[in-house]
Amino acid sequence: MSTRERILDAALQCFAEQGYSRTSMRELATRVEIRAPSLYNHFASKREIMLALLERSGPGRMSQIINQLPDELSPAALLNAVLDALFNLWRDPQDNRSMRLACAEALHDAELGTLLETQVFQQERDLLSRLLLRAAGSLDAQLAEQWANQCVALGFARRLQILLTGDDVAKTETIIAQSRQEFIQLARLFGLPLTP
């Protein structure tokens, strides 16, 4: 494992145990067993570490997945691919730790809150809207945006429910099964050509 990954793992653990604001760069260096100046070779600040955590897991990861989907997928296959990727993130304990941390810290840190809002509610919505327009070429752009807004709202609500249940695998799977049906119903409600 690279030093950068070790730093991110230690940061996630420290931030989860004692909070972002109470964790120092020196403490992270000690946890990784490197000197503080070496830590700064990898990350200029604690904020940069938090941003890297959000890119490695959580909202950044979903955006990367959406961007990598092939153009030639049918609308139904596209919906299934997005849902499968989303639900795999929901099953990932490390991703859930990152999201718990990000949500909790965003309530106390306006800059982090803005970042999370931008990545979840704006970037993912825009990516989903473009994805839908690409798959169903003749669709109205406003309808695609409305559908994407509803998907993000539903996804965030269900993800929050998973975060609140802890690491209960059975509850997570129940929420995922319900969510899959809800996303499909949402596509039908909007009359979108994404239903399987």
* Confidence at residue 58, expressed as pLDDT on a 0 to 100 scale: 65
Q: Does residue 88 sit in the same domain as residue 167?
A: yes
Domain containing residue 162: 57-190
Alpha helices in 19-92 (DSSP H): 25-32, 36-42, 46-56, 59-67, 75-91
**What is the chain's pLDDT, residue by residue, as a tens digit (196 residues)?**
899 999 999 998 898 888 888 899 999 999 999 998 889 999 999 889 988 888 787 667 788 888 888 877 777 888 889 999 999 999 998 888 888 888 888 888 888 888 888 877 788 889 888 887 877 766 788 888 898 899 999 999 999 999 999 889 999 999 999 999 999 999 888 877 665 4
> What tokens appear for 31 in the block?
């946890």
Work out how many domains the chain is built from and give that number.
Answer: 2
Q: Are residues 97 and 180 in the same domain?
A: yes
Q: Clarify whether residues 76 and 24 are in a common domain.
A: no
Burial code of 88-116, b = ≥16 C-beta within 10 A, e = fewer? ebbeeeebbbbbbbbbbbbeebeebeebb
Classify burial at 134, counting beta carbons within 10 Å of its beta carbon; exposed 0-12, middle 13-18, buried 19 or more.
Answer: middle
Q: Which amino acid would we find at residue 2? A: S
Q: What is the DSSP letter of 193?
A: T
**pTM over 0.95, yes/no:** no
Q: Quick one: 113 and 31 in the same domain?
A: no
Same-domain status, 118 and 77: yes
Q: Is residue 51 part of a domain?
A: no
Which residues have a Cβ under 8 Å from the Cβ of 20 and sit 6 or more positions away? 46, 50, 101, 105, 109, 112
pLDDT, position 59: 65
Same domain, 90 and 3: no
- Same domain as 85, residue 31: no
Residue 97 placed within a domain = yes
CATH of the domain at 7: 1.10.10.60
Does one domain contain both 116 and 176? yes
Tell me if 133 sits within 8 A of 141, measured CB to CB.
Answer: yes
Is 50 inside a domain boundary? no
Per the structure block, which two tokens stand in for 86? 């989303």
The CATH number that applies at residue 116 is: 1.10.357
